[in-house]
Amino acid sequence: MSRPSQPVPQGDYIPACRHGSLIVTSGMTPRREGVLQFTGPVRRDQSLEDHRPAVRLACENALAAARGLLAEGESLTAILSLTVYVAAEPGFDAHSKLADFASARLREELGPAGIGARTAVGVATLPGNAPVEIQLIATV
């Protein structure tokens, strides 16, 4: 089994850490090979669908970070917690609808076990002007 490509840290941290059967990821933005693919902020007048690819990519990076800590034969069994940070302009109020794109991606991957507790948070800015950042807590 080959290990998934780990997201490239943008600072002095690791993509994920593991303690026993728990894996906690760092916040992941929509990057490929360290390069931000989408920028923010999320605007009130934009379609939510415009942001689906950014949310899914950030979520896939979080999954890759978690999977990078799995031993051969192990798999993620459940998502315990999903935190979605949205860099949005004032007046944007559909944070949880954007977070639904991440929940849908996790459900695709793990079925009902992909849906755990969730928080969607609006923030003024994110690293590199990313529109979204995602952190996971998963079990092995």
pLDDT, tens digit, 9 for 90 and up, residues 101-131: 999 999 999 999 999 999 999 999 999 999 9
Domain ranges of the chain: 16-139
Q: Measured on CA atoms in the order 37, 126, 28, 12, is the torsion positive or negative? A: positive
CATH superfamily of 16-139: RutC-like (3.30.1330.40)
Structure tokens at 54: 């950014």
Within 10 A of 106 (CB to CB), how many other CB atoms are there?
24
What are the tens digits of pLDDT across the range 54-97?
Answer: 999 999 999 999 999 999 999 999 999 999 999 999 999 999 99
**Residue 75 and residue 51: Cα distance in Å, rounded?**
28
Task: For residue range 30-55, list pLDDT tens digits in order.
Answer: 999 889 999 989 999 999 999 999 99
The pLDDT-based confidence of 8 (bands split at 50, 70, 90) is: confident
CA–CA gap between residue 67 and residue 69 (Å, rounded):
5
| 32 membership: H or E segment, kind and range | strand 31-32
